[in-house]
Structure formats: C-alpha cells, structure tokens
C-alpha cells in the first residue's frame, strides 16, 4: 500500500490544529445564547450524526457486551464531564487562556500514573509537573487577576483532568478496538449521557441567531468529529511522539483565532504562563525520547 505524500500528512496535521484551536472561540460564541449543558448536548448530537455517517462508509468494530460499561466510562470522561466542565469554565475564562489550561492534561496524566496505576515517576517528570502547575497559576492570574480567580478556572482544569482519565482508561483497557471504533463509541455513549440536558433545547435552538447556529454546527462537525478522523490518519503514518509535537501549536493558534473572532488580547502574563505550561508538557514528552536517542548513539 502506497504511503501518502508528506504534503497530505502536513495538511492533515494543520487541519487538526485548526479545528481544535477553533473550539474555544466557537464555545464563547455559542455561550452567548446556549447554556453549558445545552451547548454540550447539541454539539455532540451533531458530532454523533457525523460519526454515524463516517462509520457507515468506513465500517467499525461491533462492541463486546462486557465492554459496554468501559465504553460509557470513556464517553463520560471524554465527552460528558469534559465538555460540560469546559463550557461552564469558559463563561469566566478567556478563549486563549482556556486553550492553554486544556493542554495541561499530560500533567494530570502523570499524577494518575503514579497515584492510581502505581507507575514509577522519575524526578524529571515530577519537576515537569511542578513547573507546569506554576505556569497554570501564571495563566489564571494573568487572565483575570489574582483577586478575580474563581471556580471557572478550576472547571477548565477539571476538564483537563477528565481528558487525562479518558486517555488513561483508553491506554490501559481499550486496546481491543481501532481508533475510529473507539472514537465513535466514546462520542455516542457520551452523547447519551448528555440527554439529561434535552428539556428546553429545542426552544433555545429556535431562538438562536444564525451566527451562533453556524458556530455550534462548526463545533459539532469539525473539532468533535472530522478532527478525530484526521488525527487517526496522522497517527497511522507518523510516529506518535512526532505527531504530538504539532499539538503544541494549538494554544497560539487558538489565541490568534480568538483575537480575530472575539477581539481578545492576551496579557503578557498569560503569554508567559502559556510558554511555561507548554515547555513543561514538551519536557514530559522529551523524557520518553531521551533513552531512545542515547541507545542510537551508543
């Protein structure tokens, strides 16, 4: 089977970064009309429909009956808890700062690895976690000021924790499924759990102005569905550590989109804290490559 051209791979990476970087701005636009629960449900009803169309054309694995609780757990942490917490949090946090805080999930993955799965964590990783949380404090205080810190920033971090739990469950328990099948079942099960927010949704949809409707449609189709398909294509043809490096482009891209779409101007403290968070997460990934590089030089 012929490998895709480098241009196609780069375009797929750029598409993923653009989709996920748009998400904070799209959420802020949608929250002008929708409450956080309604927004999460409507977004993932659209994503579920989109994933169903993709699954019909590409085909997915049937779920095993014994895996149903696991698949609902994945949906809860990847979709329901993550996006409701993210939507509520973004009511009091700028889109740019939100994109940085959401990228802190590898820091929480390290804590989960140590305290839940009892993995060994090196001093290097502990240092990265500490540095990352210093960056988080700088971002939060620079976004609204130390005196204005409230529960919204904590909810963005809860969304990051939820995302890291999803990846931990996926890594330890969900290797029997390919990426597309797992993404479909996570989206569909998470959407079912979000149906508690169904009352009143239709009335809000009818009243929402067209620009808000377009923002929600874009959220449901691009970051929540097509980006996962493109990311699966990238991971199929590019080493995971190299592919992950492109995700560090999401916060600066998100800040650029927010500056155009929302008129946001991040403070110097937010920019400095963003750099600290991203450097700490990058250092976590580099630790995994250092032994490989040493082995190649030996």
- pLDDT tens track of the chain, all 298 residues? 567 788 888 899 899 999 999 999 999 999 999 999 999 999 999 999 999 999 999 889 999 999 999 999 999 999 999 999 999 999 988 888 888 888 777 778 777 776 776 677 788 888 888 888 888 888 878 876 655 556 788 899 899 899 888 888 887 777 788 888 888 999 999 999 999 999 999 999 999 999 999 999 999 999 988 887 888 788 777 766 566 677 778 888 999 999 999 998 888 888 898 888 888 878 877 765 544 334 433 3
State how far the Cα of 136 lies from the Cα of 89, in Å rounded to an integer: 15
Nearest residue to 129 via CA among 139, 140, 121: 121
Query: CA nearest 100: which of 24, 180, 204?
Result: 24
In tens, the pLDDT along 32-73 reads 999 999 999 999 999 999 999 999 998 899 999 999 999 999
d(CA 153, CA 158) in angstroms, rounded, equals 9
Contacts of 206 (CB under 8 A, 6+ apart): none
**DSSP secondary structure, 223-291, as one string:** IIIIHHHHHHHHHHHS-HHHHHHGGGGHHHHHHHHHHHHT-----HHHHHHHHHHHHHHHHHHHHHHHH
Stated pTM of the model: 0.85
Which DSSP string do the residues of 169-198 spell out, in sequence order?
A: HHHHH-TTS-HHHHHHHHHHHHHHHGGGG-
With H, G, I as helix, E, B as strand and everything else as coil, classify residue 143. helix
Residue 9: other Cβ atoms inside 10 A: 17
Give the pLDDT score at 70: 93
Nearest residue to 186 via CA among 195, 199, 174? 174
Q: Quote the CA–CA distance of 181 and 74 in Å, as a whole number.
A: 12
Q: What is the pLDDT of residues 129-175, one digit of tens each?
A: 888 888 888 887 887 665 555 678 889 989 989 988 888 888 777 77
Nearest Cα neighbor of 79 from 229, 185, 151 is: 185
Question: CB under 8 Å to 21, separation ≥6 — which residues?
Answer: 99, 249, 250, 251, 253, 254, 256, 257
Cα–Cα distance for residue pair 280/38, rounded to 1 Å: 35
């Amino acid at each position: 089977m012929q490998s895709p051209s480098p241009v196609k791979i780069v375009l797929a990476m750029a598409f993923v970064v653009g989709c996920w970087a748009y998400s904070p701005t799209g959420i802020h636009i949608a929250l002008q009309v929708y409450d956080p629960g309604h927004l999460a449900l409507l977004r993932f009803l659209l994503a579920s429909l989109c994933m169903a169309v993709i699954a019909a054309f590409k085909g997915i694995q049937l779920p095993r009956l014994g895996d149903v609780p696991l698949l609902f757990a994945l949906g809860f942490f990847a979709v329901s808890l993550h996006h409701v917490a993210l939507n509520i949090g973004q009511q009091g946090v700028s889109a740019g700062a939100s994109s940085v805080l959401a990228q802190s999930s590898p820091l929480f993955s390290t804590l989960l690895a140590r305290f839940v799965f009892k993995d060994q964590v090196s001093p290097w990783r502990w240092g990265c976690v500490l540095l990352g949380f210093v960056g988080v404090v700088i971002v939060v205080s620079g976004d609204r000021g130390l005196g204005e810190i409230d529960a919204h920033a904590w909810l963005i971090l809860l969304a990051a924790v939820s995302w890291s739990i999803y990846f931990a469950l996926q890594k330890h328990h969900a290797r029997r499924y390919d990426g597309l099948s797992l993404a479909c079942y996570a989206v569909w099960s998470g959407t079912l759990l979000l149906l508690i927010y169904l009352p009143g949704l239709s009335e809000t949809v009818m009243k929402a102005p067209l620009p808000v409707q377009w923002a929600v449609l874009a959220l449901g189709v691009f970051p929540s569905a097509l980006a996962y398909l493109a990311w699966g294509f990238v991971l199929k043809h590019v080493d995971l550590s190299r592919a992950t490096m492109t995700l560090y482009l999401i916060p600066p891209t998100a800040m650029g989109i927010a500056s155009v779409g929302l008129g946001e101007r991040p403070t110097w403290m937010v920019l400095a804290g963003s750099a600290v968070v991203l450097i700490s997460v990058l250092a976590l990934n580099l630790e995994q490559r250092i032994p490989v590089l040493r082995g190649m030089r030996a």
